[in-house]
Amino acid sequence: MALKSSRRGEISPFIVMEMLRFANQRVADGGDVLHLELGEPSAPTPGLVVERAHELLDKNLPGYTESLGIPPLRERIAAYYQAREGIAVAPGRIAVTTGSSGAFVLAFLAAFDVGDRVALAMPGYPAYRNILTALGVETVALPVGAETRFQPTVEMLEKVDAPLDGLIIASPSNPTGTVLPAEEFRAIADHCRDQGIRLVSDEIYHGITFGTDAVSALSFGDEAIVINSFSKYFAMPGWRLGWMVVPDDLLRAVESLSQNLFISPPCLSQNAAMSVFDCIGELDASVATYARNREILLDGLPGAGFDRMAPSDGAFYLYADVSELTNDSHDFCHRMLAETGVATTPGTDFDPVSGHRAIRLSFAGPAAAMEEAVARLKCWKR
Protein backbone atom coordinates (compact mmCIF):
# COMPACT_ATOMS: atom_id res chain seq x y z
CA MET A 1 0.00 0.00 0.00
CA ALA A 2 1.31 3.44 -0.91
CA LEU A 3 2.26 5.69 1.97
CA LYS A 4 0.21 8.82 2.48
CA SER A 5 1.74 12.23 1.88
CA SER A 6 0.36 15.63 2.79
CA ARG A 7 -1.22 17.83 0.16
CA ARG A 8 0.34 20.89 1.85
CA GLY A 9 3.41 20.46 -0.30
CA GLU A 10 1.37 20.62 -3.50
CA ILE A 11 1.89 24.36 -3.80
CA SER A 12 3.56 26.23 -6.60
CA PRO A 13 7.35 26.50 -6.46
CA PHE A 14 8.98 29.85 -5.84
CA ILE A 15 9.99 30.42 -9.46
CA VAL A 16 12.63 33.05 -8.72
CA MET A 17 14.61 30.41 -6.82
CA GLU A 18 14.26 28.04 -9.75
CA MET A 19 15.57 30.76 -12.07
CA LEU A 20 18.53 31.12 -9.71
CA ARG A 21 19.16 27.38 -10.04
CA PHE A 22 19.16 27.62 -13.85
CA ALA A 23 21.44 30.66 -13.69
CA ASN A 24 23.87 28.82 -11.43
CA GLN A 25 23.85 25.86 -13.81
CA ARG A 26 24.77 28.20 -16.66
CA VAL A 27 27.77 29.40 -14.64
CA ALA A 28 28.73 25.80 -13.81
CA ASP A 29 28.66 25.06 -17.54
CA GLY A 30 31.09 27.87 -18.22
CA GLY A 31 28.72 30.73 -19.03
CA ASP A 32 28.25 34.04 -17.33
CA VAL A 33 25.15 35.49 -15.69
CA LEU A 34 23.88 38.97 -14.90
CA HIS A 35 21.61 38.47 -11.91
CA LEU A 36 18.46 40.54 -12.38
CA GLU A 37 16.25 37.79 -10.98
CA LEU A 38 17.08 38.00 -7.27
CA GLY A 39 15.91 40.61 -4.80
CA GLU A 40 19.15 40.37 -2.87
CA PRO A 41 21.03 43.59 -2.05
CA SER A 42 24.42 43.88 -3.69
CA ALA A 43 25.44 46.14 -0.82
CA PRO A 44 27.52 44.19 1.68
CA THR A 45 26.37 43.71 5.23
CA PRO A 46 27.61 46.80 7.13
CA GLY A 47 31.09 46.37 8.54
CA LEU A 48 30.05 47.09 12.12
CA VAL A 49 27.67 44.12 12.01
CA VAL A 50 30.36 41.80 10.69
CA GLU A 51 32.88 43.04 13.27
CA ARG A 52 30.37 42.47 16.05
CA ALA A 53 29.72 38.94 14.79
CA HIS A 54 33.45 38.18 14.87
CA GLU A 55 33.63 39.46 18.44
CA LEU A 56 30.67 37.34 19.45
CA LEU A 57 32.11 34.21 17.85
CA ASP A 58 35.20 34.60 20.04
CA LYS A 59 32.96 34.38 23.10
CA ASN A 60 30.84 31.57 24.42
CA LEU A 61 27.50 32.77 23.11
CA PRO A 62 24.36 31.51 24.80
CA GLY A 63 22.36 29.13 22.65
CA TYR A 64 18.65 29.78 22.68
CA THR A 65 17.21 33.19 23.37
CA GLU A 66 13.72 34.22 24.36
CA SER A 67 11.34 33.14 21.62
CA LEU A 68 10.31 36.72 20.82
CA GLY A 69 13.93 37.86 20.64
CA ILE A 70 16.49 39.40 22.94
CA PRO A 71 15.09 42.45 24.78
CA PRO A 72 17.89 44.84 23.73
CA LEU A 73 17.19 44.19 20.03
CA ARG A 74 13.46 44.65 20.52
CA GLU A 75 14.21 47.96 22.23
CA ARG A 76 16.48 49.06 19.36
CA ILE A 77 13.76 48.25 16.82
CA ALA A 78 11.26 50.28 18.85
CA ALA A 79 13.71 53.20 18.98
CA TYR A 80 14.15 52.94 15.22
CA TYR A 81 10.40 53.38 14.66
CA GLN A 82 10.44 56.46 16.87
CA ALA A 83 13.47 58.01 15.16
CA ARG A 84 12.71 57.08 11.57
CA GLU A 85 8.92 57.27 11.39
CA GLY A 86 7.91 59.15 14.54
CA ILE A 87 5.85 56.18 15.75
CA ALA A 88 5.89 54.99 19.34
CA VAL A 89 5.91 51.20 19.54
CA ALA A 90 6.20 49.31 22.82
CA PRO A 91 9.17 46.90 22.68
CA GLY A 92 6.91 44.24 24.17
CA ARG A 93 4.85 44.23 20.96
CA ILE A 94 7.90 43.43 18.82
CA ALA A 95 8.63 39.81 17.97
CA VAL A 96 11.98 39.05 16.37
CA THR A 97 11.66 36.22 13.86
CA THR A 98 13.66 33.86 11.68
CA GLY A 99 13.51 36.12 8.65
CA SER A 100 10.33 37.75 7.42
CA SER A 101 9.38 34.29 6.10
CA GLY A 102 9.12 33.04 9.68
CA ALA A 103 7.10 36.14 10.51
CA PHE A 104 4.57 35.39 7.77
CA VAL A 105 4.11 31.84 9.01
CA LEU A 106 3.57 33.04 12.58
CA ALA A 107 1.25 35.85 11.50
CA PHE A 108 -0.93 33.63 9.34
CA LEU A 109 -1.14 30.87 11.96
CA ALA A 110 -1.98 33.32 14.74
CA ALA A 111 -4.56 35.33 12.80
CA PHE A 112 -6.32 32.86 10.49
CA ASP A 113 -8.02 29.48 10.76
CA VAL A 114 -8.45 26.79 8.12
CA GLY A 115 -11.12 27.97 5.71
CA ASP A 116 -10.69 31.67 6.41
CA ARG A 117 -10.51 34.02 3.42
CA VAL A 118 -7.58 36.40 2.94
CA ALA A 119 -7.36 38.91 0.11
CA LEU A 120 -4.14 39.93 -1.60
CA ALA A 121 -3.08 41.88 -4.65
CA MET A 122 -2.23 40.05 -7.84
CA PRO A 123 0.51 40.46 -9.01
CA GLY A 124 2.02 40.02 -5.57
CA TYR A 125 4.69 38.17 -3.63
CA PRO A 126 4.00 34.46 -4.29
CA ALA A 127 4.92 33.22 -0.81
CA TYR A 128 1.82 34.91 0.66
CA ARG A 129 -0.41 32.83 -1.56
CA ASN A 130 1.56 29.64 -1.18
CA ILE A 131 1.98 29.77 2.61
CA LEU A 132 -1.71 30.54 3.11
CA THR A 133 -2.68 27.70 0.78
CA ALA A 134 -0.43 25.25 2.62
CA LEU A 135 -2.13 26.31 5.87
CA GLY A 136 -5.60 25.69 4.47
CA VAL A 137 -6.53 29.37 4.18
CA GLU A 138 -8.41 30.47 1.05
CA THR A 139 -6.72 33.26 -0.90
CA VAL A 140 -8.85 35.86 -2.66
CA ALA A 141 -7.01 37.49 -5.56
CA LEU A 142 -7.51 41.21 -6.12
CA PRO A 143 -6.42 41.80 -9.73
CA VAL A 144 -4.62 45.15 -9.75
CA GLY A 145 -3.16 47.13 -12.61
CA ALA A 146 -2.01 50.49 -13.81
CA GLU A 147 -5.38 52.09 -13.08
CA THR A 148 -4.80 51.65 -9.31
CA ARG A 149 -1.01 51.76 -9.50
CA PHE A 150 -0.99 48.02 -8.79
CA GLN A 151 -2.41 48.44 -5.27
CA PRO A 152 -5.76 47.32 -3.81
CA THR A 153 -8.51 49.83 -3.09
CA VAL A 154 -11.47 49.99 -0.73
CA GLU A 155 -13.74 49.70 -3.76
CA MET A 156 -12.18 46.35 -4.64
CA LEU A 157 -12.70 45.09 -1.11
CA GLU A 158 -16.33 46.17 -1.14
CA LYS A 159 -16.93 44.18 -4.34
CA VAL A 160 -15.57 40.89 -2.97
CA ASP A 161 -18.39 38.37 -3.12
CA ALA A 162 -18.10 37.03 0.44
CA PRO A 163 -16.79 38.32 3.78
CA LEU A 164 -13.05 38.53 4.24
CA ASP A 165 -11.05 37.56 7.30
CA GLY A 166 -7.79 39.18 6.26
CA LEU A 167 -6.00 41.45 3.80
CA ILE A 168 -2.31 41.61 2.93
CA ILE A 169 -0.88 44.96 1.85
CA ALA A 170 2.69 45.41 0.58
CA SER A 171 4.05 48.94 0.23
CA PRO A 172 6.54 49.16 -1.43
CA SER A 173 5.32 46.08 -3.21
CA ASN A 174 7.02 43.12 -4.78
CA PRO A 175 7.07 42.79 -7.82
CA THR A 176 5.88 46.23 -8.90
CA GLY A 177 7.64 48.51 -6.43
CA THR A 178 4.59 50.73 -6.02
CA VAL A 179 3.91 52.64 -2.79
CA LEU A 180 0.42 53.07 -1.39
CA PRO A 181 -0.30 56.79 -0.76
CA ALA A 182 -1.02 57.63 2.87
CA GLU A 183 -4.61 58.69 2.35
CA GLU A 184 -5.44 55.51 0.44
CA PHE A 185 -3.68 53.37 3.04
CA ARG A 186 -5.67 55.08 5.80
CA ALA A 187 -8.92 54.38 3.96
CA ILE A 188 -8.02 50.69 3.65
CA ALA A 189 -7.00 50.48 7.32
CA ASP A 190 -10.26 52.12 8.39
CA HIS A 191 -12.27 49.76 6.19
CA CYS A 192 -10.51 46.72 7.64
CA ARG A 193 -11.15 47.94 11.19
CA ASP A 194 -14.83 48.61 10.48
CA GLN A 195 -15.36 45.25 8.78
CA GLY A 196 -13.35 43.09 11.18
CA ILE A 197 -10.71 42.28 8.57
CA ARG A 198 -7.23 41.55 9.95
CA LEU A 199 -4.72 43.70 8.08
CA VAL A 200 -1.22 42.29 7.51
CA SER A 201 1.22 44.95 6.30
CA ASP A 202 4.40 43.79 4.57
CA GLU A 203 6.91 46.60 5.11
CA ILE A 204 10.16 44.78 4.35
CA TYR A 205 11.15 47.33 1.68
CA HIS A 206 10.67 50.36 3.92
CA GLY A 207 13.72 52.57 3.66
CA ILE A 208 14.12 51.85 -0.06
CA THR A 209 12.04 54.46 -1.87
CA PHE A 210 12.67 56.95 -4.66
CA GLY A 211 11.12 60.38 -4.29
CA THR A 212 8.28 59.23 -2.06
CA ASP A 213 7.88 57.91 1.47
CA ALA A 214 6.29 54.61 2.44
CA VAL A 215 3.88 54.93 5.36
CA SER A 216 3.59 52.24 8.02
CA ALA A 217 0.24 50.72 8.93
CA LEU A 218 1.21 51.60 12.50
CA SER A 219 0.33 55.19 11.61
CA PHE A 220 -3.34 54.22 11.43
CA GLY A 221 -3.86 52.17 14.58
CA ASP A 222 -2.66 49.13 16.51
CA GLU A 223 -4.80 46.41 14.91
CA ALA A 224 -2.55 45.52 11.97
CA ILE A 225 0.22 42.95 11.98
CA VAL A 226 3.33 44.68 10.62
CA ILE A 227 6.19 42.63 9.20
CA ASN A 228 9.70 43.82 8.43
CA SER A 229 13.09 42.30 7.73
CA PHE A 230 16.81 42.86 8.11
CA SER A 231 17.35 41.41 4.62
CA LYS A 232 16.56 44.34 2.33
CA TYR A 233 17.27 47.89 3.57
CA PHE A 234 19.57 46.59 6.30
CA ALA A 235 21.52 44.41 3.81
CA MET A 236 21.58 41.28 5.98
CA PRO A 237 19.83 38.70 3.73
CA GLY A 238 21.80 35.63 4.79
CA TRP A 239 21.41 36.31 8.51
CA ARG A 240 17.76 35.14 8.45
CA LEU A 241 16.37 37.79 10.75
CA GLY A 242 13.11 39.73 10.65
CA TRP A 243 10.52 41.10 13.02
CA MET A 244 6.81 41.65 13.57
CA VAL A 245 4.89 44.34 15.38
CA VAL A 246 2.08 42.33 16.90
CA PRO A 247 -1.34 43.55 18.09
CA ASP A 248 -1.86 42.93 21.80
CA ASP A 249 -4.59 40.37 21.21
CA LEU A 250 -2.22 38.14 19.20
CA LEU A 251 0.94 38.44 21.29
CA ARG A 252 0.46 35.30 23.36
CA ALA A 253 -0.48 33.27 20.30
CA VAL A 254 2.59 34.46 18.39
CA GLU A 255 4.83 33.69 21.36
CA SER A 256 3.44 30.18 21.83
CA LEU A 257 3.68 29.41 18.13
CA SER A 258 7.22 30.76 17.97
CA GLN A 259 8.28 28.66 20.97
CA ASN A 260 7.00 25.50 19.35
CA LEU A 261 7.87 26.11 15.69
CA PHE A 262 11.19 27.94 15.85
CA ILE A 263 12.37 27.89 19.53
CA SER A 264 14.06 31.25 18.95
CA PRO A 265 15.57 33.39 16.19
CA PRO A 266 19.30 32.91 15.47
CA CYS A 267 21.29 34.05 18.50
CA LEU A 268 24.35 35.33 16.58
CA SER A 269 22.24 37.25 14.10
CA GLN A 270 20.21 38.94 16.82
CA ASN A 271 23.22 40.13 18.74
CA ALA A 272 25.10 41.28 15.65
CA ALA A 273 22.05 43.11 14.30
CA MET A 274 22.17 45.48 17.25
CA SER A 275 25.00 47.29 15.43
CA VAL A 276 23.11 47.81 12.16
CA PHE A 277 21.14 50.70 13.65
CA ASP A 278 24.43 52.60 13.91
CA CYS A 279 24.92 52.28 10.14
CA ILE A 280 22.00 54.33 8.81
CA GLY A 281 24.23 56.63 6.74
CA GLU A 282 25.87 53.66 5.05
CA LEU A 283 22.50 52.04 4.39
CA ASP A 284 21.03 55.21 2.89
CA ALA A 285 24.07 55.45 0.61
CA SER A 286 23.18 51.99 -0.69
CA VAL A 287 19.65 53.19 -1.45
CA ALA A 288 21.22 55.97 -3.55
CA THR A 289 23.04 53.24 -5.48
CA TYR A 290 19.76 51.42 -6.11
CA ALA A 291 18.30 54.71 -7.35
CA ARG A 292 21.12 55.02 -9.90
CA ASN A 293 20.58 51.41 -11.00
CA ARG A 294 16.88 52.13 -11.42
CA GLU A 295 17.66 55.08 -13.69
CA ILE A 296 20.03 52.99 -15.80
CA LEU A 297 17.27 50.48 -16.50
CA LEU A 298 14.50 53.05 -16.95
CA ASP A 299 16.66 54.98 -19.40
CA GLY A 300 17.99 51.99 -21.32
CA LEU A 301 15.31 49.31 -21.39
CA PRO A 302 12.87 51.15 -23.69
CA GLY A 303 15.55 50.99 -26.37
CA ALA A 304 15.57 47.21 -25.92
CA GLY A 305 11.80 46.96 -26.34
CA PHE A 306 10.82 47.05 -22.66
CA ASP A 307 8.84 50.27 -22.47
CA ARG A 308 5.78 49.45 -20.36
CA MET A 309 6.69 49.46 -16.66
CA ALA A 310 4.75 49.63 -13.43
CA PRO A 311 5.61 52.72 -11.38
CA SER A 312 8.69 51.79 -9.35
CA ASP A 313 8.36 53.98 -6.27
CA GLY A 314 10.39 51.72 -4.01
CA ALA A 315 11.99 48.32 -3.44
CA PHE A 316 14.39 47.36 -6.25
CA TYR A 317 12.21 45.96 -8.98
CA LEU A 318 10.77 46.84 -12.35
CA TYR A 319 7.67 44.95 -13.46
CA ALA A 320 7.53 45.05 -17.25
CA ASP A 321 4.59 44.30 -19.52
CA VAL A 322 6.11 42.21 -22.32
CA SER A 323 2.86 41.23 -24.04
CA GLU A 324 4.05 42.83 -27.27
CA LEU A 325 7.12 40.57 -27.20
CA THR A 326 5.72 37.28 -25.90
CA ASN A 327 2.68 35.51 -24.54
CA ASP A 328 4.82 33.10 -22.51
CA SER A 329 6.99 34.90 -19.97
CA HIS A 330 8.34 31.64 -18.58
CA ASP A 331 9.78 30.59 -21.94
CA PHE A 332 10.83 34.20 -22.60
CA CYS A 333 12.91 34.40 -19.43
CA HIS A 334 14.54 31.05 -20.09
CA ARG A 335 15.47 32.09 -23.63
CA MET A 336 16.77 35.41 -22.36
CA LEU A 337 19.01 33.61 -19.89
CA ALA A 338 20.22 31.08 -22.43
CA GLU A 339 20.88 33.60 -25.21
CA THR A 340 22.07 36.69 -23.29
CA GLY A 341 23.04 35.57 -19.81
CA VAL A 342 20.54 38.03 -18.30
CA ALA A 343 18.54 36.31 -15.56
CA THR A 344 15.05 37.67 -14.81
CA THR A 345 11.86 36.26 -13.30
CA PRO A 346 8.66 35.45 -15.23
CA GLY A 347 5.55 37.24 -14.10
CA THR A 348 3.80 33.93 -13.54
CA ASP A 349 5.60 33.76 -10.20
CA PHE A 350 3.59 36.76 -9.04
CA ASP A 351 0.39 36.39 -11.05
CA PRO A 352 -0.70 32.90 -12.19
CA VAL A 353 -3.50 34.39 -14.30
CA SER A 354 -1.93 37.26 -16.24
CA GLY A 355 1.75 36.93 -15.41
CA HIS A 356 2.50 35.20 -18.70
CA ARG A 357 2.57 38.73 -20.15
CA ALA A 358 5.08 40.21 -17.68
CA ILE A 359 8.56 39.81 -16.24
CA ARG A 360 10.30 41.20 -13.15
CA LEU A 361 13.78 42.70 -13.26
CA SER A 362 15.73 43.39 -10.07
CA PHE A 363 18.13 46.33 -9.89
CA ALA A 364 19.59 45.30 -6.52
CA GLY A 365 22.91 44.32 -8.13
CA PRO A 366 25.92 46.44 -9.12
CA ALA A 367 25.56 49.29 -11.62
CA ALA A 368 27.93 47.60 -14.07
CA ALA A 369 25.54 44.63 -14.27
CA MET A 370 22.63 46.95 -15.08
CA GLU A 371 24.58 48.68 -17.85
CA GLU A 372 25.74 45.39 -19.36
CA ALA A 373 22.23 43.92 -19.15
CA VAL A 374 20.82 46.86 -21.11
CA ALA A 375 23.54 46.51 -23.73
CA ARG A 376 22.93 42.78 -24.17
CA LEU A 377 19.16 43.12 -24.36
CA LYS A 378 19.46 45.83 -27.00
CA CYS A 379 21.41 43.37 -29.15
CA TRP A 380 19.18 40.38 -28.43
CA LYS A 381 17.42 39.08 -31.54
CA ARG A 382 14.08 37.92 -30.17
According to DSSP, the residues that pair with 316 across neighbouring strands are: none
What Å distances lie between residue 181 and 172, 192, 215, CA to CA?
10, 17, 8
Which residues make Cβ contacts (< 8 Å) with residue 222, sequence separation at least 6?
Answer: 247, 248
At residue 105, the pLDDT reads: 98
The pLDDT value recorded for residue 7 is 85
CATH of 47-278, one of 3.40.50.720, 3.40.640.10, 3.90.550.10, 3.90.1170.50: 3.40.640.10
Q: Which of 26, 29, 39, 37 is nearest to 339 (CA)?
A: 26
**pLDDT tens digits in sequence order for the chain, 382 residues long:** 888 888 888 878 788 888 999 999 999 999 999 999 988 898 899 999 999 999 998 887 768 999 999 999 999 999 999 999 999 999 999 999 999 999 999 999 999 999 999 999 999 999 999 999 999 999 999 999 999 999 999 999 999 999 999 999 999 999 999 999 999 999 999 999 999 999 999 999 999 999 999 999 999 999 999 999 999 999 999 999 999 999 999 999 999 999 999 999 999 999 999 999 999 999 999 999 999 999 999 999 999 999 999 999 999 999 999 999 999 999 999 999 999 999 999 999 999 999 999 999 999 999 999 999 999 999 997 7
What are the start-end ranges of the H helices in the chain? 15-28, 47-57, 71-85, 99-111, 126-134, 154-159, 182-195, 251-261, 267-273, 280-300, 329-340, 367-379
CATH topology of domain 10-39+280-379: Aspartate Aminotransferase, domain 1 (3.90.1150)
Residues 185, 212 contacting (CB under 8 angstroms): no
Do 10-39+280-379 and 47-278 agree at the fold level? Answer: no
Q: What is the pTM of this model?
A: 0.94
Q: Where are the domains of the chain?
A: 10-39+280-379, 47-278
* Three-class DSSP category at 191: helix
CB-CB contact of 288 with 146 (8 Å): no
pLDDT recorded at residue 12? 83
116 phi and psi angles, rounded to 5 deg: -65, 165
Torsions phi, psi for 362 (to 5 deg) = -100, 135
* Cα–Cα distance measured from residue 37 to residue 361, given in angstroms and rounded to the nearest whole number: 6
Residue 135 has a pLDDT of: 96
Write the DSSP assignment of 117-146 as a string of letters. EEEEEES--HHHHHHHHHTTPEEEEEE--G
